[in-house]
Structure 1
Amino acid sequence: MGVLVAERYRLDEPLGRGAMGEVWRATDQALSRPVAVKLLRADDGDAASERLRMEARTAARLDHPHVVSMYDSGCHDGRFYLVMELVDGWSLAQELAVHGLLDPQEAGAIGAQMAAGLSAAHVQGVIHRDIKPGNIMLTTDRIVKITDFGIACFADDASHTLTATGKILGTSSYLAPERAVGRPAVPASDVYALGCVLYELLTGRPPFLGENTPAVVQQHASAAPVPPDHLRPEIPRSLADHLLLLLAKDPAQRPTAEQAAGWLAAVEAHSDQAPPSGTVSPGGPPVPTAPAHMLRPARSRPTGSRTPSKAVIGVAGAVAFAVAAVIGASVTSGDGDPSSPPPGSTAPSTSTPPSEAPLSGAPSATASPDLSSSAFDDDKDEEKEKPERQRKRGGEKGGKH
């Protein structure tokens, strides 16, 4: 018989191990159901314990089919633990690593589910702050589950900009421009990260690449992304244009998660209509009009950078100044780990330790953050999910990939 946690949860099989502890497939003996138990290491300090407590508090506010459910939390033999819904599936990072690009219609459906989960969180005042492929689970039935609220915050908490060590939490490839310079996370920051993930599902790469992490962060603040249909022509124009709205530099120009969910859910794979200006999106409020520099008169427009809006010039200058001072940064802007086992494991919310970007001074619109390579160590301590069994998904999906 396995170890019994809190005289109730029997640890059956390890599923993942990482910087903050280990995750087990377990059995809730009181309710006779499978669960996932995240167990903090005995030698972890107060910071790690507080992070798990924050995950418990934020996730406990949420009850939504596209968010991993939180069941219980507590302390056992001096180790903090979380009890969560057990997800039969794999992460989007694994999906990308093993199967590559998604069909545009399927990518839109996954994006709609992500947006719906984020909308539910935002309604409850919860901002995730680390949306990325590694934190999005996909069940065997292709249902999205947002997980890992370890660095989430409450929208009404004015102190959430910095951690106690003066650092910004997040992952560089999916970090919204406003967060890169020390501004507080807002719901629109999650929407931007959603756009980055959807871009990667459609094109196989995040919207910005660079030789090092500071270069990637600078592009988030100042560079226009290449339209995804220029990288992959079969992407419907309507989907490509709406994706650019999610990636707007100005948070006020992005749709809400609710608007994004409604529009993405109604996307037709072969539609080539741009999102209408000022009209009501299916299932949601009006979709904001795309900024002028994002509107394209024809698909044949040459690929290239566009002039960023004046609203982000100050932000870009601040980031450029900081990047210029960085020497010898290593490439750490990726998310997925190619060595991860293929999709097919039964896995819970196996969290990936977030990257951290220290700031030099108090956060402000003109702050110059320290964008050293250690600030965004995105791949370090990536948790590996142990497969319960191997599945061949080619037959399940009808050879879509």
Structure 2
Amino acid sequence: MKQQVLIAGRYRLNTTIGRGAMGEVWQAYDEMVSRPVAVKLLHSQNSEPTATARFRLEAQTAGRLSHPHVVGVLDFGEQEGRLFLVMELVQGDSLAYVLTQAGSLPAEEVARIAAQSAAGLAAAHQQGIVHRDIKPGNLLLDADRSVKIGDFGIAQFMNDPSGALTATGQIVGTSLYIAPERALGQPAGPPSDVYSLGCVLYQLLTGQPPFRASSPIAVLHHHLDTAPVPPRELGVGLPPAFENYLLSLLAKRPEDRPTAHQVAEWFASGAWRGRPEPLPAAAPRPEPEPRLTAAWDAAAKPRTNAAPSPAPSSGPGSVTTYAFPSSATVGSTAPAHRTRRRQRTGGRAVAAGRSKAVGTVAAVLIFLGALLVGLAWFSPDHSSADTSPTDPPGSTSPATATP
């Protein structure tokens, strides 16, 4: 359009900010409430048979959402045979443009984008809406770098599968970011959006989507059968917690992925940085041993630099100063009661030793006496056999039986 056009008597179109197969997006100004807006116009002669229905569906689905991280729909109508959709104007660029400029983003920036994008998806899922086309071009950054999810043109109500507006066997979405179950022709669900978000985050970190191939069909096969390469193997400095959680978003089975609400909370909490294990509880400190008396404590200290003690003074108001005994004095002058106790203890020890020695000697003497008595009793002079006086020494007579 060469000149400014007024839509619905209030939206003045200024410049074109985007074009697509279905229509074009204009930066406009709402003269009724004095604010900038974005106006999406459907092409007047669109060749796609479902374009009008999809355009109405976008207005219906996005109009049900009111969330800080979703592009808000303000108005919908028709003028001169062209449908228009008035939306919140996002003063920033899409993530697709950011990737072309930066190539990749640091982990902290990607974590913030992940938390906000997942929060917007969680709000849509709560309203029964599946976006079905999460990709860098549909995630916008406003002036303060806050994420806004846009383009609900192919969104689907979960309780109305016919809302997909696709022919049998047709897959709607971008193959680089499509979930495995959708590659199999199964209906999209909230886990499908989570998978697509995981693909976007992977590309923001590494500069490339998780799977690439020469054709869309080959890419779909990778989504079904190939495990993504961990970002750290591509040289990305990433906390292990972040990488592990990102790979869980790319799980092949929908039931193995976290929900959008869980993703938003996990990244917003800072858990992606990884938390160290809690330290073990400190062992209880032992009780301090009782201190010695002042005299003993002072006496144990070296007195090489000690000043001489002043003489006691008895004058009024004078302070009496006591000289602590030296270590030699303390070691040589034990209290009297300790000396007496040692003497008593030593005496008892000596007496006990003497008694034990006497008992041992007596036992030995008794044993020797018993041994001598036994030898004398069983000697030849006291045998029960008679010995002849004429027999030579050393010879014995036959034993005589008793009558």
Q: By percentage of residues, which structure has more strand?
A: 1
Amino acid at match of 1:91: S
Which residue is 2:104 aligned to? 101
Amino acid at match of 1:225: P
Cα offsets for 1:107-137 (capped at 9, x unmatched)? 0110111000000000000000000001100
Amino acid at match of 2:189: V
Amino acid at match of 2:228: P
Is 1:113 matched up with 2:105?
no
In structure 2, which of residues 57, 69, 75 is the aligned counterpart of residue 72 of structure 1?
75
Residues of 2 paired with 1:99 and 1:127: CA distance?
Answer: 30
Distance 1:217 1:166, change over 3 A: closer
CA contact (8 A) 2:169 2:185 kept: no
Q: Secondary structure of 1:89's match?
A: coil
Q: Secondary structure of 2:93's match?
A: strand
Cα offsets for 1:357-378 (capped at 9, x unmatched)? xxxxxxxxxxxxxxxxxxxxxx
Residues of 1 paired with 2:83 and 2:24: CA distance?
Answer: 11
Is 1:250 matched up with 2:253?
yes
Residues of 2 paired with 1:53 and 1:205: CA distance?
Answer: 34
Residues of 1 paired with 2:224 and 2:276: CA distance?
Answer: 28
Is 1:123 matched up with 2:164?
no
Residues of 2 paired with 1:113 and 1:86: CA distance?
Answer: 18
Q: Secondary structure of 2:162's match?
A: coil
Is 1:84 matched up with 2:87?
yes
Which residue is 1:4 aligned to? 6
In structure 1, which of residues 186, 197, 205 is the aligned counterpart of residue 189 of structure 2?
186
Structure of higher CA gyration radius: 2
CA contact (8 A) 1:130 1:151 kept: yes
Q: What root-mean-square deviation, in Å, do the aligned CA atoms of Structure 1 and Structure 2 show?
A: 1.7
Which residue is 2:43 aligned to? 41
Distance 1:96 1:13, change over 3 A: same
CA contact (8 A) 1:105 1:267 kept: no
Q: Secondary structure of 1:117's match?
A: helix
Which residue is 2:204 aligned to? 201
Residues of 1 paired with 2:214 and 2:40: CA distance?
Answer: 35
Runs of 4+ aligned residues of structure 1 deviating over 3 Å after TM superposition are none
In structure 1, which of residues 177, 180, 183 is the aligned counterpart of residue 180 of structure 2?
177
Cα offsets for 1:157-192 (capped at 9, x unmatched)? 133566146412010000000000110000000000
Residues of 2 paired with 1:205 and 1:273: CA distance?
Answer: 30
CA contact (8 A) 1:104 1:269 kept: no
C-alpha displacement of 1:87: 0.4
Amino acid at match of 2:45: D
Residues of 2 paired with 1:129 and 1:273: CA distance?
Answer: 37
CA contact (8 A) 2:91 2:142 kept: yes
C-alpha displacement of 1:151: 0.1
Residues of 2 paired with 1:89 and 1:188: CA distance?
Answer: 28
CA contact (8 A) 1:105 1:268 kept: no
Which residue is 1:230 aligned to? 233
Which residue is 1:259 aligned to? 262
Which residue is 2:152 aligned to? 149
C-alpha displacement of 1:50: 1.1
Q: Secondary structure of 1:168's match?
A: coil
Amino acid at match of 2:264: A
CA contact (8 A) 1:8 1:29 kept: yes
Q: Secondary structure of 1:106's match?
A: helix
Amino acid at match of 1:31: V
Distance 1:161 1:5, change over 3 A: closer
C-alpha displacement of 1:18: 2.1
Amino acid at match of 1:22: E
Residues of 1 paired with 2:125 and 2:23: CA distance?
Answer: 28
In structure 2, which of residues 219, 222, 244 is the aligned counterpart of residue 241 of structure 1?
244
Distance 1:98 1:233, change over 3 A: closer
Which residue is 1:163 aligned to? 166
In structure 2, which of residues 124, 130, 135 is the aligned counterpart of residue 132 of structure 1?
135
* TM score, norm. by length of structure 1: 0.66
Residues of 2 paired with 1:164 and 1:104: CA distance?
Answer: 40
User: Across the two proteins, how many residue pairs are aligned to each other?
Assistant: 274
Distance 1:20 1:33, change over 3 A: same
C-alpha displacement of 1:266: 2.0
Task: Please give the residue correspondences for 1:290-301 in structure 2 after superposition, counting only pairs within 5 Å.
Answer: none
C-alpha displacement of 1:215: 1.5
Task: Please give the residue correspondences for 1:357-396 in structure 2 after superposition, counting only pairs within 5 Å.
Answer: none
**Which protein, 1 or 2, shows the higher relative CO under an 8 Å CA cutoff with sep ≥ 6?**
1
C-alpha displacement of 1:267: 2.7
Distance 1:44 1:259, change over 3 A: same
Q: Secondary structure of 1:90's match?
A: coil
**Structure 2 portions without partners, runs of 5+:** 278-403
Is 1:271 matched up with 2:274?
yes
Distance 1:38 1:161, change over 3 A: closer
C-alpha displacement of 1:264: 1.1
* TM score, norm. by length of structure 2: 0.66
In structure 1, which of residues 16, 19, 28 is the aligned counterpart of residue 18 of structure 2?
16
Identity percentage of aligned residues: 56
Residues of 2 paired with 1:131 and 1:269: CA distance?
Answer: 22
